[in-house]
């Protein structure tokens, strides 16, 4: 195995800036007030060390100083909030936690599957099947309509979140993917009727300091580089 020490004595985070899974992990790290050593990667040239400790080759990958590897985005989020629960986040009760889990399962399953086919239909074309991006967008819209209705119930304040006036694990796990849905066709999304509450929720997130800090740009990491911290 390739050994690359924790030079700063911090957990090492392998990440890719635009990946929504890596983004949700970084958001939780920022919200929890933690610091890690960051290693930005290029997807077509993944670091050998990352692949050694996490052969599935996806980000985020968090390598703790004790050798533990956490390579699922939700688990990195849970690790972060277990270290230091964000002061402004809502502590979920049992019913809210179940709702949070259900929403995230829907997001990571049906929503993400259709989002990929909406954004990148060419990847799914075959000799016998033509992927229709609008068909998959419509599936995503049905799910977004559910979250819009939930947000509408809490009023029209700019700081309204899925469980009311405070952000939660659910918001930060879901928002990067709604951001990605908008990016697929920003003009259409911004003009689409019926998503006012969802748009306010997303707009507040896009303007937030926590997103700005989570989206800091780093040059791709190479072995031997001077270690960098995140957040910087």
β 36-40/12-15 pair status: parallel
State mean pLDDT over 115-142. Answer: 93
State mean pLDDT over 112-123. Answer: 95
pLDDT for res 65 = 96
In whole angstroms, give the CA distance from residue 140 to residue 119.
11
- Is 33 part of any domain? yes
- Is 140 part of any domain? yes
Q: Which two tokens stand for residue 175?
A: 């928002």
State mean pLDDT over 122-139. Answer: 91
CA-wise closest residue to 61 among 47, 48, 50: 50
Triad 95, 99, 102: Cα angle to 5°: 140
pLDDT for res 108 = 97
Q: Domain check: are 201 and 129 in the same one? A: yes
CATH number, domain with residue 201: 1.20.1050.10
In whole angstroms, give the CA distance from residue 137 to residue 145.
12
Triad 135, 190, 148: Cα angle to 5°: 70
Above 70 in pLDDT, residue 48?
A: yes
CA-wise closest residue to 96 among 173, 26, 170: 170
Q: Domain check: are 23 and 116 in the same one? A: no
pLDDT for res 158 = 63
CA-wise closest residue to 180 among 202, 204, 148: 202
Above 90 in pLDDT, residue 130?
A: no
Triad 7, 11, 17: Cα angle to 5°: 105
- Is 4 part of any domain? no
Q: Domain check: are 206 and 101 in the same one? A: yes
State mean pLDDT over 207-211. Answer: 96
CATH number, domain with residue 220: 3.40.30.10
| Structural domain of 195 | 94-211
Q: Which two tokens stand for residue 135?
A: 């068909």
In whole angstroms, give the CA distance from residue 77 to residue 112.
18
Q: Domain check: are 131 and 70 in the same one? A: no
CA-wise closest residue to 34 among 89, 69, 86, 75: 86
pLDDT for res 118 = 97
Above 90 in pLDDT, residue 202?
A: yes
pLDDT tens digits along 141-188: 999 999 999 999 987 766 789 999 999 999 999 999 999 999 999 999
Among the residue ranges 4-18, 118-132, 184-198, the one predicted with the least confidence is 118-132
Above 90 in pLDDT, residue 63?
A: yes
Please tell me what DSSP assigns to residue 121. Answer: G
Above 60 in pLDDT, residue 2?
A: no
State mean pLDDT over 103-119. Answer: 97
- Is 112 part of any domain? yes
Above 90 in pLDDT, residue 57?
A: yes
- Is 118 part of any domain? yes
Triad 48, 71, 114: Cα angle to 5°: 105
Q: Domain check: are 118 and 18 in the same one? A: no
Q: Domain check: are 155 and 180 in the same one? A: yes
Q: Domain check: are 17 and 51 in the same one? A: yes
pLDDT for res 3 = 58
pLDDT for res 5 = 85
Tell me the pLDDT of the chain averaged across its residues: 95
In whole angstroms, give the CA distance from residue 49 to residue 178.
31
Domain count along the chain? 2
- Please report which residue ranges of 19-126 form alpha helices under DSSP H: 20-31, 48-53, 73-83, 94-106, 112-119
């Amino acid at each position: 195995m390739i050994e690359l020490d924790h030079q700063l004595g911090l957990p090492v985070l392998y990440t890719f800036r635009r990946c929504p899974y890596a983004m949700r992990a970084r958001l939780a790290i920022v919200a929890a007030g933690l610091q890690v050593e960051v290693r930005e990667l290029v997807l077509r040239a993944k670091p050998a060390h990352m692949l050694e400790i996490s052969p599935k080759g996806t980000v985020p990958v968090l390598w703790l100083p004790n050798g533990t590897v956490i390579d699922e985005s939700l688990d990195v989020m849970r690790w972060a909030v277990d270290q230091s629960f964000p002061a402004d986040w809502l502590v979920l009760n049992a019913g809210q936690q179940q709702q949070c889990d259900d929403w995230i399962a829907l997001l990571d399953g049906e929503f993400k599957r259709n989002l990929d086919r909406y954004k990148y239909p060419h990847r799914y074309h075959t000799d016998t099947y033509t992927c229709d991006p609008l068909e998959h967008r419509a599936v995503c819209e049905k799910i977004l309509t559910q979250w819009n209705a939930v947000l509408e119930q809490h009023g029209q304040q700019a700081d309204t979140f899925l469980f009311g006036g405070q952000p939660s694990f659910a918001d930060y796990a879901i928002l990067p993917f709604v951001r990605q849905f908008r990016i697929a066709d920003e003009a259409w999304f911004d003009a689409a009727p019926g998503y006012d509450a969802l748009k306010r929720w997303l707009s507040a997130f896009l303007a937030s300091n926590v997103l700005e800090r989570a989206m800091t740009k780093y040059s791709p990491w190479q072995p031997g580089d001077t270690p960098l911290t995140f957040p910087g």
